[in-house]
Amino acid sequence: MSDETGTQYTAGSRGPRPEPLRFFGTAWVNHDNGYTPRRIGVAVGSLATAVAACLVLRLAYQGLQIADSGAFVSILVVAMFAICSALAFRNTWDSFGKRPDPDRQASLRGLLAIGFVGSLLAYFFRSLTEAPGEKLHREEYEAALKQHENRNIRRTGNPSKKRRRS
């Protein structure tokens, strides 16, 4: 069971549970269970994947040149990948700070697929400072903890025996 922020609760639980992050689980809460090696692995993995993707795109571009499709098509393909990668980078970077709108994400699915290199680079740069999405999840988790504490503050004494002011 979870609320609108994604914080998970269980029936009869002692409070909210942190939402797991991809590749990190709930290690981001206390930075334990191999958090630092995971961050290093995510940074290296996303950068290596971005480099490999750029090499594949370079081969595709060379295929266009071999096919002699013309300068216009070559420029169009390069511009398309550059613009889509920039937009995907910005969209992915913004999603680390606030929950993305699902309808907007669905409409951008094709653009994000074309600009996958930008998403990989955003993941790389964010993993240099924190687990991607950690700040957002931490804010939501701390707010849920505070809300849970406020809900569970017990009143002292019996309110029906309280003296009324006259």
pTM: 0.79
Is residue 4's pLDDT more than 70? no
Q: What is the C-alpha to C-alpha distance for residues 33 and 158, in angstroms, rounded to an integer?
A: 45
Q: What is the C-alpha to C-alpha distance for residues 58 and 124, in angstroms, rounded to an integer?
A: 21
Eight-state DSSP code of residue 19: P
Contact 147, 9 (CB under 8 A): no
pLDDT tens readout for residues 46-76: 999 999 999 999 999 999 999 998 899 999 9
User: Greater confidence, 164 or 83?
Assistant: 83
Mean pLDDT of 142-159: 78
Q: What region, left, alpha or beta, does residue 18 occupy, with left being phi > 0 and alpha being psi -120 to 50 degrees?
A: beta
Mean pLDDT of 83-101: 94
CA-based nearest residue to 124, from 40, 54, 58, 52: 40
